[in-house]
Structure 1
């Protein structure tokens, strides 16, 4: 017997989706039945690999990690309204991270008297029937649609994926009643193939010649130009193009709330990362006379440090320059020009226009700028070096700093990986208040070598590593998730490490354990720097701390995996923390590389 579910699963596979992250429920009997039919007919295999996920947010986050490293969408299957809601913050992340993911949710049956196969036969089917299930997530989706018949299923799937993979890329949501998924169809409907070439993604948009020439001339004639970017590195080809533009004109680059590597760390005109906390805007912003903003959601915070009022600002965004499709509410950047253009094509156009405008350049000024920026870059690197090597005087019972920890991690990777470098290591960064510190001290050189969720919902890092491993594990020697202790708990480790063991996706987790949620405390101090909260004795008193007895995060992972994960807490036990860190990191990296198991290091910091 073949059903709409047969058509759905085969169509998804035919569309190139290789992995389905599934959390099953009472609305999925026809899907489970057809998967077993596939196994019986295909030597135990299914058309797409099914990844069983005991938590919906973990499922969607793993799908996000998969899509981030492969560039291809994955699918997620969840259970009616409750499963849709349980995807929680991951819905925000795939939207804001512009990650193409196909989400399917079943829905309660609409018949009650056994009129059709799939009719209501469990009490929960009444309480899970809501008037508009898709409204739960619609404002985050690029497209939502109900599947109402097996005859239209393939077309709906192709339309959904066509939209999901077009700029601005993002998630799509399909749903269907149980009876519809049980509807019988002919084998010809399952085997019918719709040519994917008939459903292409929208071709990337280039800058107009006028825009490219205007931006190029402004940058060429500028005295103090600046490039700000957040997400341009999601397109790996953009990395070298951006580096070329910066080099040609001697323009500093600052990564603002990045989700991907913009330029190699060692690029002499790269001046670091900011997440705009407090007064951390680049000092170049205030004096810049021309600013190019590339794929950035928040290039600066006007109330804290706006650009110079006379600065010429040019905004280029791959598909959504006014943030309307991704449904941002209040948003504005004072700009001379707003451009909807693919970042790779835009940079190609600007570079070509710059090359054609040699006569407008002030060679002497550009050379002076190059020298000054290189000096600033080198001084910044020296400061990072000194922070990594500045251990406390009393190592007995002391606490390592985050630069200490990341310096040891980076050097351990360089010593123990086959390539003896970080070039084949993927860093998944969910450091939150320590985002920028992780970006800078991991010193990533290769495009795609470090990523974040692109959103603000915590709990991305663990499952994203699983999805990344399933999608592109063979491309990396090591994957490292760096999380805060709050992010670790939000990541549902009881589910994530079970999945990691089940599907053999080994990665290293570093927990930066400061004993609570630092971000709410910092937000409070930003509004009330000298108020009552500023005088709280501890994070525990302020109710943002997890102490005085914190969970042992490493052992949570060990327990979730039934002992498969190797875990250790480091620091705060009266030992020599420097020696402990070196030994622990060496063993943790060895376990992942040689034993192909996950390893978790719970690194105790000074408590908030």
Structure 2
């Protein structure tokens, strides 16, 4: 029986608690493939769940989704420099989303005349040998290291995971030359205990006593306070603490660029969502005298103006407090600054509990009047949402139906999920709808922690791979009312995002590993976001009146059939349908057609345990 460094590597991953490895094999992995077959022959199976991923970005996106729902890192194995490059934008997403993932890549052999086992014997070994392979991803990693010997391999893996799981959490990258990974080892290395017992993550931090008193006093005395967050809800323990603090002091909450469920939609002091397009910031920002920014990506954009031409930013007199669990200065971003009076690194749940305890039974300035005023803002916002979800009573004067809107589609999905009988705890929505981000968050109306998640980054192509990973992770984390995994997962994407997700690989994986989820494709005929970016800089320019195809951001006139891509990739296993209000016939209204189609898609996922894709045609850009 031959054991190698690769045997020890896979053994170490299993020993330290890694359960799933998303792999894309190459010429640097012969010893790993041999070890997996050795395990199968001797033990009848593998110590790790190996998930074959035909595309590297999909592999890392799946690991990303897995880690988001389990709270535990997965591993990804890719091929030398080219596989590392093919991880693509998923590297950015894992970094910005603060998701712990262990990435391993092999590297070309360093010998060429058979001096060592694994020496160069293929022409690509010369082509794929680069000066500094980890530099491809180093600025996105929390830690990079080369495996130089089997002797300290368990230490390297444990150090990498200790760093990956400490705030600010994130991906780590290990790599090894083929000769090192082919090196034969003694059986004793496999018998030495390998645990994380003495390699704990860094404990969450608290606010200093001075910071607690200063923030609590300011909130108690404030006439027009405001709370802002983006991803506080990633920490499920912070969810109730945030809601409680808002309630006891009647503090309005505004969510900017959310990537997690941070507050129940029904919370009376939630006043809205925004991805900070000009004119979409809450008016409360300008009038606020105390602002607490906690776990936020970007709280406001200083140069943006509202419809009246006023800057959408705090007044110079406002007191501003910034709290972040791991990186309050955003050191990984080239330029970032908040005009703040106090900047703190602290765990959101701990910090909010500290502030709540400091307040005790004290009453905030003007509590009752503010509570009434803020609740009215909340109610007006909810009424706007309801109005946007309605369908016209009859077709237009021309006799045609208006195109579907995102609020109508999301509300229809929400109703279908509720009618299906699945539990809230067993339902998960993945949002990568880009220009429709705030509409999806608003109209899905999440109520519990973890109900909706995003990638946390801005590189498109996360959602479909994450669909596979979250189904697998949900089973491991025993989600759902029966603890058997999520009962229903849905992903909402744009048509451009759908293509970025590499659907051929994602839906092949979904069938191979039986990970059913629904995908709603919001088809507006191209990339709306680049057009909006152009209008933000050139509102009256030559392109302001051009349609998407003229601007080269459109996919027309002949767009792909998105649902059938999924059907073909899965060998006919996935179910797909395209729905357009303009094609409503057979006595059905556009509303009935949409409702029946989405209801059937939900049924296919829940009852038949197959993927379903519904392409919904919107107004073209």
Q: TM-score, normalised by structure 1?
A: 0.97
Residue 307 of structure 2 is matched in structure 1 by: none
1:582 to 589, 595, 603: 595
Please report how far the alpha carbon of residue 391 of structure 1 lies from its aligned counterpart in structure 2 after TM superposition.
Answer: 3.1
Cα contact 1:107–1:177 (8 A) shared by 2 = yes
Cα distance in 1 for partners of 2:158, 2:170 equals: 15
Residue 432 of structure 1 is matched in structure 2 by: 434
Cα contact 1:315–1:338 (8 A) shared by 2 = yes
1:365-391: CA deviations, max 9, x gaps? 111111111111111111111111133
Structure 1, unpaired ranges of 5+: none
1:527-557: CA deviations, max 9, x gaps? 0000001021x10001000011111100000
Q: Which range moves more in the overlay, 195-204 or 172-181? A: 195-204
Residue 367 of structure 2 is matched in structure 1 by: 366
1:348 to 346, 349, 353: 353
Residue 470 of structure 1 is matched in structure 2 by: 472
Q: Which range moves more in the overlay, 372-381 or 59-68? A: 372-381
Residue 209 of structure 1 is matched in structure 2 by: 209
Matches for 1:532-571 after TM superposition, within 5 Å:
532-536=542-546, 538-571=547-580
Cα contact 2:422–2:488 (8 A) shared by 1 = no
Cα contact 1:417–1:477 (8 A) shared by 2 = no
Q: Which range moves more in the overlay, 465-474 or 515-524? A: 465-474
Aligned partner of residue 247 in structure 2, secondary structure: helix
Cα contact 1:406–1:441 (8 A) shared by 2 = yes
Q: Which range moves more in the overlay, 521-530 or 190-199? A: 190-199
1:490-545: CA deviations, max 9, x gaps? 00000000000000000000000000000000000000000001021x10001000
Residue 193 of structure 1 is matched in structure 2 by: 193
Structure 2, unpaired ranges of 5+: 305-311, 476-483
Please report how far the alpha carbon of residue 279 of structure 1 lies from its aligned counterpart in structure 2 after TM superposition.
Answer: 1.3
Cα contact 1:417–1:593 (8 A) shared by 2 = no
Cα distance in 1 for partners of 2:421, 2:438 equals: 25
Cα distance in 2 for partners of 1:320, 1:338 equals: 10
Matches for 1:302-451 after TM superposition, within 5 Å:
302-304=302-304, 305-324=312-331, 327-355=332-360, 358=362, 361-362=364-365, 365-391=366-392, 393-394=394-395, 396-419=400-423, 422-451=424-453
Cα distance in 2 for partners of 1:471, 1:586 equals: 25
Query: How many residues align structurally?
Result: 598
Aligned partner of residue 512 in structure 1, secondary structure: strand
Cα distance in 2 for partners of 1:80, 1:319 equals: 31
1:436-490: CA deviations, max 9, x gaps? 0000000000100000000000001111111010011434221000000011000
Aligned partner of residue 32 in structure 1, secondary structure: helix
Cα distance in 1 for partners of 2:584, 2:64 equals: 40
Matches for 1:112-191 after TM superposition, within 5 Å:
112-191=112-191
Cα contact 2:391–2:591 (8 A) shared by 1 = no
Please report how far the alpha carbon of residue 348 of structure 1 lies from its aligned counterpart in structure 2 after TM superposition.
Answer: 1.1
Cα distance in 2 for partners of 1:470, 1:361 equals: 46
Aligned partner of residue 443 in structure 2, secondary structure: helix
1:221-269: CA deviations, max 9, x gaps? 1000000000100000111000000001000011110110111110001
Please report how far the alpha carbon of residue 195 of structure 1 lies from its aligned counterpart in structure 2 after TM superposition.
Answer: 3.3
Cα contact 1:483–1:509 (8 A) shared by 2 = yes
Residue 55 of structure 1 is matched in structure 2 by: 55
Indicate how the Cα distance of structure 1 residues 392 and 433 shifts in structure 2: closer, same or farther if over 3 A, else same: farther
Aligned partner of residue 567 in structure 1, secondary structure: strand
Matches for 1:225-244 after TM superposition, within 5 Å:
225-244=225-244
Aligned partner of residue 445 in structure 1, secondary structure: coil
Cα distance in 1 for partners of 2:456, 2:344 equals: 21
Please report how far the alpha carbon of residue 560 of structure 1 lies from its aligned counterpart in structure 2 after TM superposition.
Answer: 0.3
Matches for 1:489-500 after TM superposition, within 5 Å:
489-500=499-510
Aligned partner of residue 516 in structure 1, secondary structure: coil
The reply on whether 1:87 has 2:90 as its aligned counterpart is no
Please report how far the alpha carbon of residue 574 of structure 1 lies from its aligned counterpart in structure 2 after TM superposition.
Answer: 4.8
Please report how far the alpha carbon of residue 392 of structure 1 lies from its aligned counterpart in structure 2 after TM superposition.
Answer: 6.9
Residue 611 of structure 2 is matched in structure 1 by: 598
Please report how far the alpha carbon of residue 397 of structure 1 lies from its aligned counterpart in structure 2 after TM superposition.
Answer: 4.7
Please report how far the alpha carbon of residue 423 of structure 1 lies from its aligned counterpart in structure 2 after TM superposition.
Answer: 4.5
Cα contact 2:219–2:364 (8 A) shared by 1 = no
Residue 516 of structure 1 is matched in structure 2 by: 526
Cα contact 1:391–1:404 (8 A) shared by 2 = no
Indicate how the Cα distance of structure 1 residues 352 and 119 shifts in structure 2: closer, same or farther if over 3 A, else same: same
Superposed CA RMSD: 1.1
Cα distance in 1 for partners of 2:422, 2:492 equals: 21
Residue 280 of structure 1 is matched in structure 2 by: 280
Please report how far the alpha carbon of residue 398 of structure 1 lies from its aligned counterpart in structure 2 after TM superposition.
Answer: 3.6
Cα contact 1:398–1:574 (8 A) shared by 2 = no
Cα distance in 1 for partners of 2:43, 2:206 equals: 45
Cα contact 1:570–1:577 (8 A) shared by 2 = no
Cα distance in 1 for partners of 2:425, 2:410 equals: 16
The reply on whether 1:7 has 2:20 as its aligned counterpart is no
Cα contact 2:15–2:195 (8 A) shared by 1 = no
Cα distance in 1 for partners of 2:152, 2:177 equals: 14
Indicate how the Cα distance of structure 1 residues 182 and 83 shifts in structure 2: closer, same or farther if over 3 A, else same: same
Cα distance in 1 for partners of 2:192, 2:214 equals: 50
Q: TM-score, normalised by structure 2?
A: 0.95
